Amino acid sequence: MLKVFLGRLMTTIPALIGVVAVSFLLTRVLPGDTAAYFAGPAATPQAVEEVRKSLGLDRPLPEQFSRYVADLSRGNLGNSLTTGQPVLEDLKSRLPASAELTLFGLVLSLLVAIPLGITAAVKQGSFIDHACRAVATAGVSLPVFFTGLLLVYVFYFILQISPAPLGRLDVFASAPPTVTGFYLVDSLIARDMQTFKATLAQLLLPGITLAIFSLAPIARITRASMLAVLSMEFIRTARASGLGKRTIIMTYAFRNAMLPVVTTLGMVFSFLLGANVLVEKVFAWPGVGSYAVEALIASDFAPVQGFVLAMAILYIVLNLIIDLSYRLIDPRMGATS
């Protein structure tokens, strides 16, 4: 297992080098001039030049790149000009916010999507099957910002049962002491039930928004994969042997249908983490998605590079975990490789 792990780890290195180089080059070919943007509305050309110089942007590209790599090797991701903070600090404080929201949304989504997918596969062509198709289609078709705004309008503005969409916590509540950066976990560690409830209340609407969006791929894959497994011979044998319906579906069919679901799950998670920028905007959520987009609009290179790098590492780690979990789900995976 360790050997496999190390072997997989080695293959990630070229990918990382590629990401560093590409993210650097991409931000440089973006239209827009950082210096002009940050010199402010009343800047003269001289002022712009002064800002450019103080940012080191007047130097040739290879020199900027070697500086960037040297800084990276010291763990310095540079400074964000939009927030004025070191990028590493920004990512550290914002990644947990996004991760908590995404995980929460994903769990909500799983709770609905998997039972829905399984039922749809078992009762193919039934009312549930059509409902599954309808829900999945609606979920992907509704843009997240629309779902988000709609939920805010209904549950905050009209029904008044949701707290104000003001980020992770109410304005007058204070964050629990940081252990994991996940407020739900941290407030439990601090045994602060009031903060836990407040956090949960804030998480609910954005979580549901994300869940509605990510429902579709999970439910559809569960259904398709279950259908494939259910038509296999070992299921027929199990049925012929008179095993209980529940045992057949959950123990035999679902376990075998899980591989593609887990693969999709990994994809959906990493996709949501970066792509939930719109949800973050709607709910004033201090996450990485909105951070990266704001930086991009301002031609602020360092955070964009830092974000791409963080996302790349996350993808790599996730894929590694998924690869390794295959072996746990299906022992044959280890034997063939």
Partner 1 sequence: MDRRDFLKKAGATAAASATGVAAPAVFTSASAQSRAETLLIVSESGPNNLDIHGVGTNVPGYEVSWNCYDRLISHEMKTGPNGVAYYDRDKFKPELAEDMNVGKDSATFKLRRDAKFHDGTPVTAQDVKWSLDRAVSVGGFPTFQKKAGSLEKPEQFVVVDDHTVRVDFIRPDRLTIPDLAVIVPCIVNSGLVKKNAGPNDPWGLEYTKQNTAGSGAYRCTKWTPGTEVVLERNNDWKGGAQPKIPRIIWRMVPSAGNRRALLERGDADISYDLPSKDFAELKSSSRLNIVSTPYSNGIQYIGMNVKKPPFDNPKVRQAVAHALPYQKIMDAVQFGLSEPMFGAPAGAATKAEWPQPHKYNTDLAKARALLAEAGMPNGFETTISFDLGFAGVNEPLCVLVQESLALIGIKATINKVPGANWRTELNKKEMPLFTNVFSGWLDYPEYFYFWCYDGQNSVFNTMSYQNPEMDRLIAAARTSAAAGEMATYEQSVRGFVDLAYADVPRIPLFQPYVNVAMQKNVGGYQYWFHRRLDYRALTKA
The binding site for partner 1 (CB under 8 A) comprises 30-34, 36-48, 50-51, 54-55, 80-85, 90, 93, 145, 149, 152-154, 156-161, 163-167, 170-173, 194, 281-284, 286, 290-291, 294, 297-299
> CA 144 → CA 108, 166, 295, distances in Å?
16, 17, 21
Those residues whose C-beta lies under 8 Å from the C-beta of residue 83, and which sit 6 or more positions away, are 90, 291, 303
Bridge partners (DSSP) listed for residue 86: 79
> Hey, what are 5's tokens?
């792990």
In a 3-state reduction of DSSP, which class is residue 86? strand
| Joined tokens for residue 53 | 């110089």
DSSP H or E stretch at residue 267 = helix 255-275
Place of tokens 């790349």: 312
| Structure tokens given for 244 | 């209980």
Residue carrying structure tokens 């560690």: 189
Which of 243, 209, 253 lies closest to 117, judged by CA?
253
Backbone dihedral angles phi then psi of residue 86, each to the nearest 5 degrees: -60, 140
Q: How far apart are CA 225 and CA 160, in angstroms?
A: 41
CB–CB of 221/261 below 8 Å? yes
State whether the Cα torsion 9-12-13-14 is positive or negative. positive
Residue type, 262: V
Pick the closest to residue 68 from 27, 119, 104 (CA basis): 27
- Name the DSSP letter for residue 337: -
